[in-house]
Structure formats: C-alpha cells, structure tokens
C-alpha cells in the first residue's frame, strides 16, 4: 500500500502558506512535493495539502493509499465526514469526492515529529517569496 504523508503550514494565520506531500510507494520509491499556496490560514493549508495529494494519487493511478496527517482537524473531518466550521465544508466535500475515486483509502493521525511532510510544507512557505 502506498503511504502518503501530508502537511500544510502557514507563517502567520493567515500568512504565506505551503503544502508538503511525501509519497512512499510499495517498491520503496519516494516522491516529495513542495507546493506554495499563497496567503491563507493554517487550517486551509492543511486542506489544500490533502487536496493536492489526492490529485497526485488520482493523476498517477494510485488507488490504494494510507494517508498520514498531523492535523487532528483533517483527521476528524475525514473520519466523521463533517466539519463544525462551515468555512471548510466546500474543501471537505471536494476531498470526499476525490476519496470516492480511490479503491481503498485510510487516514491516520501521526505526531508532527513522525510526519515526513512537515519539513516539506515549511520549505513550500519559502517558495511563496520566490514566485510572487
């Protein structure tokens, strides 16, 4: 099963934001993605990291995945298929629609220290300054 680590980060809330995605395939191959997201809140950055990772999986034909996130907000929203803050409902709905395109999807919460995408998301914040 392919492991996908995701993380969103912001320098300020809102502030320059980035998404980090770390994909480890069954054959051991690793892909790292750093995606500048512009200015947004940390929670929005977490959702966009999830959406970008799902897009990558769908585009590359990866249909059996185990996602890891250090965001309790994202983990709970996916598990319950519900968000209390309606600001995030369109993002959750989009993520759930993408998840439906996969054969098998798991989401697991991990501590930040175990999230292989953590450093990538911080690097992605820096890319905002070079792309503006």
pLDDT of residue 129: 72
In the chain, how long is the greatest CA-to-CA distance? 40
pTM: 0.95
Q: What is the pLDDT of residues 91-113, one digit of tens each?
A: 999 999 999 999 999 999 999 99
Cα–Cα distances in angstroms (integers) from residue 105 to residues 3, 63, 115, 125, in the given order: 10, 8, 18, 28
pLDDT of residue 45: 98
What share of residues in the chain are helix, strand, coil (percent, to 5)?
45, 30, 25
Handedness of CA 98, 31, 12, 110 (dihedral sign): positive
State which fold the 2-131 domain adopts: Nucleotidyltransferase; domain 5 (3.30.420)
Question: Mind listing the pLDDT tens digit of every residue in the chain (132 residues)?
Answer: 999 999 999 999 899 999 999 999 999 999 999 999 999 999 999 999 999 999 999 999 999 999 999 999 999 999 999 999 999 999 999 999 999 999 999 999 999 999 999 999 999 999 997 554
Domain ranges of the chain: 2-131
């Amino acid at each position: 099963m392919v492991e996908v680590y995701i993380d969103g980060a912001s320098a300020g809330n809102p502030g320059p934001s980035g998404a980090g995605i770390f994909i480890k395939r069954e054959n051991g191959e690793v892909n790292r993605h750093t995606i500048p997201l512009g200015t947004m809140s940390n929670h929005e950055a977490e959702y966009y990291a999830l959406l970008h990772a799902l897009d990558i999986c769908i585009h590359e034909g990866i249909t059996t995945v185990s996602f890891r996130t250090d965001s309790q907000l994202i983990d709970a929203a996916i598990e319950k298929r519900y968000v209390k803050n309606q600001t995030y409902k369109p993002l959750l709905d989009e993520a759930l629609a993408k998840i439906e395109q996969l054969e098998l999807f798991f989401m697991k919460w991990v501590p930040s220290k175990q999230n292989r995408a953590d450093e990538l998301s911080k690097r992605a914040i820096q890319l905002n300054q070079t792309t503006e």
